[in-house]
């Protein structure tokens, strides 16, 4: 329940180890709580997923029978009339790729906060005998009977709860709800409109992707685009609350309105959406996720939505998340589905490099991910992505690249730091070399955050410097442990060779 001081990237800090960063620094500096009613515990803004469920329940319950609360105030909001407590989770046990990478063999903040909340709820449940239901993107981590029992959970919902939330809560009241539910929205009309403000003014523009990557749960959802008039109504709720911008959540924003098999972006639909949200008073419009192939397929689209945002003249940079995952031709063909479309899989390495340049040119700051430790990955596969990182450095790429250890939902083939080979370690090191260079360059921008006073800016500067030093220190120690005392420089030199990447001949 935090706005991350207006910076979504601070959310990654929640994936870091609880033992390293003092809790007061986490709560006060990076993730201060949202505005909350101190008497009732009601959160004035909440995650968009919770707002969806809230709206679904309002179709059958009265307004005063439902309250969306800040977990820090949970004892104020649970009592003798409480029948059901619903919890939204992103990564409750710290099993997701970012967390397992950032907190190896340590308790992450996101997992610690969940454990503390569940401990409070279990004590209250003994007293008031309500039911507990959990859903959200991380619900799969809890979909086992022993984990449910330990955390005091009666029902876990995996998937999209919009259509079934009201029936489920009625069944929970009667004691007839199942232990585990898998559900998907069949009709876009059944996704209820939000009625209250959301964290960081985030609204949902679309669901699903259709790119077909075999490691991604999002691919199980069919693509659905929410219409502009509806998005304007939801955005207005956040603007009326006091936010000055609109952030569009999507699984692949550049497929909004796309109705062709080549996955070519719908220029008119996307620019109309951006302009339509600007026209109702948004200072700018951001988005959570794009794909490099969509960026490269229509550079004019990226240029024009940046112009609608007035990014060039204002000097504003906006961050967005993109998945690189790998640029190894063999792994792309095996695992990335049609992620490269409208280009071929053989062109993906060029697409990523060109897309990064286009985004930077138009003041977009990519936060990209790569995956290390695919079950069938060879050192030769890794070399392709190492070379990509060298090319990023050569053209002064401005963006972060998060190296994530491969995780699978079966929990059988997941990668661990202790299994890294020399090529994989080199890629990990190259990514963090890039990240530390970029973070050092953008510290002045981070410190322009209006919520920081002068003393906080000095403190933040120190935290960022110490944090980046600690990461490299950890990697140096890991290198010595993995490779018989050898230093990173010795390992990296071996993998410094380069592959040429040619541009495709492609026209619209």
Mean pLDDT, the chain cut into blocks of 10 residues (508 residues total) = 83 86 87 94 96 96 96 94 96 91 87 96 97 95 96 96 94 96 89 96 91 76 90 98 96 93 96 98 96 98 98 93 96 93 96 98 96 94 95 95 86 85 95 91 75 79 80 90 92 73 48
Q: What is the pLDDT of residue 508?
A: 40
* pTM over 0.75, yes/no: yes
In a domain, 460, yes or no: no
User: Does 135 fall in a domain?
Assistant: yes
CA gap 286, 38 in Å, rounded: 31
pLDDT for position 462: 82
- Return d(Cα 394, Cα 396) in angstroms, integer: 6
- In three-state form (DSSP H/G/I as H, E/B as E, the rest C), the secondary structure along 299-313 is HHHHHHHHHHCCHHH
pLDDT of residue 103: 85
Residues 256 and 273: their CA atoms lie apart, in Å, by 9
User: Is 499 within the bounds of a domain?
Assistant: no
Question: What is the sign of the dihedral through the CA atoms of 214, 217, 223 and 229?
Answer: negative
If residue 222 lies in a helix (H) or strand (E), which one and from where to where?
Answer: none
In a domain, 73, yes or no: yes
Residue partners of 242: CB distance under 8 A and separation at least 6: none
β-strand partners of 17: 108
CA 144 to chain centre: 24
Termini Cα distance of the chain: 44
Surface-to-core class of residue 508, CB atoms within 10 Å of its CB (0-12 exposed, 13-18 middle, 19+ buried):
exposed
What pLDDT is stored for residue 157 in this prediction? 97
In this structure, is residue 84 part of a structural domain?
A: yes
In sequence order, what E strands does 243-283 have? 246-249
**How many Å apart are CA 306 and CA 285, to the nearest integer?**
9
- Residue 247: which residues within 8 A CB-CB, separation 6 or more? 8, 200, 201, 202, 203, 285, 286, 287, 288
**Separation of CA 165 from chain center:** 24
User: Which pLDDT score, from 0 to 100, does residue 444 have?
Assistant: 77
CA–CA separation, 141 and 118 (whole Å)? 15
For the chain, counts of helices (H) and of strands (E): 18, 13
In a domain, 243, yes or no: no
Task: Determine if residue 73 is left, alpha or beta; phi over 0 gives left, psi from -120 to 50 gives alpha, anything else beta.
Answer: alpha
Q: Which domain holds residue 40?
A: 1-196
Look at the chain and report how many structural domains it folds into.
Answer: 1
Is residue 55 included in any domain, yes or no? Answer: yes
User: Does residue 160 fall inside a structural domain?
Assistant: yes
Structure confidence at residue 506 (pLDDT): 43
Residue (of 7, 3, 72, 79) closest to 317 by Cα position: 7
């Amino acid at each position: 329940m935090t706005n991350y001081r207006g910076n979504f990237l601070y959310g990654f800090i929640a994936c870091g180890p609880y033992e390293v960063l003092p809790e007061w620094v986490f709560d006060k500096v990076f993730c201060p709580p949202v505005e909350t009613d101190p008497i009732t515990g009601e959160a004035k803004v909440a995650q968009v997923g919770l707002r969806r469920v809230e709206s679904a329940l309002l179709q059958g319950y009265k307004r005063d029978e439902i309250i969306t609360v800040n977990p820090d105030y949970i004892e104020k909001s649970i009592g003798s009339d409480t029948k059901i407590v619903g919890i939204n989770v992103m990564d409750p046990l710290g099993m997701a790729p970012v967390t397992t990478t950032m907190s190896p063999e340590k308790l992450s903040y996101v997992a610690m906060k969940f454990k503390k909340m569940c401990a409070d709820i279990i004590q209250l449940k003994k007293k008031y005998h309500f039911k507990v239901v959990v859903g959200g993107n991380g619900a799969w981590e809890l979909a086992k009977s022993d984990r449910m029992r330990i955390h005091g959970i009666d029902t876990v919902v995996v998937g999209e709860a919009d259509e079934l939330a009201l029936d489920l809560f009625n069944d929970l009241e009667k004691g007839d709800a199942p232990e585990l539910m898998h559900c998907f929205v069949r009709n876009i009309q059944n996704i209820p409109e939000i009625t209250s403000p959301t964290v960081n003014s985030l609204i949902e523009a679309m669901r699903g992707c259709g790119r077909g990557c075999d490691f991604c749960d999002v691919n199980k959802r069919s693509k659905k685009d929410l219409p502009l008039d509806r998005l304007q109504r939801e955005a207005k709720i956040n603007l009326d609350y006091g936010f000055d911008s609109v952030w569009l959540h999507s699984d692949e924003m550049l497929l909004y309105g796309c109705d062709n098999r080549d996955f070519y972006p719908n220029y008119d639909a996307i620019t109309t959406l951006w302009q339509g949200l600007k026209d109702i008073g948004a200072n700018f419009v951001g988005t959570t996720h794009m794909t490099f192939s969509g960026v490269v397929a229509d550079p004019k689209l990226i240029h024009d939505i940046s112009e609608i945002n007035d990014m060039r003249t204002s000097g504003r940079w906006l961050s967005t998340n993109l998945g690189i995952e790998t640029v190894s031709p063999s792994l792309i063909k095996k695992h990335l589905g049609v992620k490269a479309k409208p280009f071929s899989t053989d062109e993906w390495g060029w697409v990523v490099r060109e897309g990064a340049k286009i985004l930077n040119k138009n003041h977009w700051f990519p936060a990209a991910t790569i995956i290390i430790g695919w079950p069938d990955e060879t050192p030769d596969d890794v070399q392709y992505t190492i070379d990509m990182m060298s090319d990023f450095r050569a053209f002064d790429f401005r963006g972060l690249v998060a190296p994530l250890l491969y995780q699978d939902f079966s929990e059988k083939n997941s990668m661990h730091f202790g299994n890294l080979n020399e090529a994989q370690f080199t890629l990990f090191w190259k990514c963090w070399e890039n990240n530390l260079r970029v973070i050092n360059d953008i510290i002045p921008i981070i410190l322009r955050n209006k919520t920081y006073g002068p003393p906080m800016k000095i403190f933040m500067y120190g935290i960022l410097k110490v944090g980046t030093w600690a990461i490299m220190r950890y990697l140096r120690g890991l290198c010595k442990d993995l490779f018989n005392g050898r230093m990173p420089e010795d390992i990296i030199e071996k993998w410094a060779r380069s592959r040429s990447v040619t541009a495709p001949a492609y026209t619209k």
